[in-house]
Amino acid sequence: MRRKKTPGKSHTMPIAIGSGIAIVAIVILVNYYLDQTTLSGQRFGDQLAQIQSDLKNETQSFDQNLTQYKNGQISKDQMLKITDAHILAVKNILPRYEDLKAPELFRPSLELFKLSTQTQIQSDETLREWIVTGNNATSAKSDQLLQQSFQYEMNALQSYQTAKSSGSQ
């Protein structure tokens, strides 16, 4: 006698295998996506750090020249040339923020870094005016803008760290 096939058993095995393959594929794709997101965030962080480093180096060099000017070691004409070159260098750094591919979590911090740099440029332009006129009110305005730039940068760093810690969880 022949055994009769139990209905449905022959169809369940291929469905189970197909489901298992689909689950494995989804897990692989999710892991790949998470790895790519992590790499993208790492790349963004490295590029942002390079921009900030370049800005810091430019600013430190300018501050050294400014100190020399205030001590009478650099003439007014030399300082104006140095200031113009500095302002141009910082303005050339500013578009580099636009080239960054910021993950969504980091966009607010990126905007704050840009705002900080824009405010620093305003401060430097106001400082240039002080060099030309010698008006102490202009120097005070430049200092105020520089302080505001620093505050934006501190807020940007805090925002960046918050995004970084919430993104790694």
Closest to 44 measured CA to CA, from 95, 97, 81, 86: 97
Question: What tens digit of pLDDT does each residue of 102-153 get?
Answer: 888 889 999 999 999 999 999 999 999 999 999 999 999 999 999 999 999 9
Task: Return the closest-CA partner of residue 110 out of 62, 26, 48, 67.
Answer: 48
Q: Token digits for 124?
A: 């430097």
Report the distance separating Cα 30 and Cα 110, nearest Å: 27
**What number of residues does the chain have?**
169
The predicted pLDDT at position 19 comes to 73
Residue 102 backbone dihedrals phi, psi, to 5 degrees:
-80, 125
| 3 state SS of 108 | helix
pLDDT 10s digits, 10-64: 667 777 777 778 777 676 766 665 555 566 678 888 899 999 999 999 999 999 9
pTM of the model: 0.77
**Token reading at 129:** 């005016």
The letter for the amino acid at 78 is Q
Angle at 90 between CA 84 and CA 93, to 5 degrees: 145
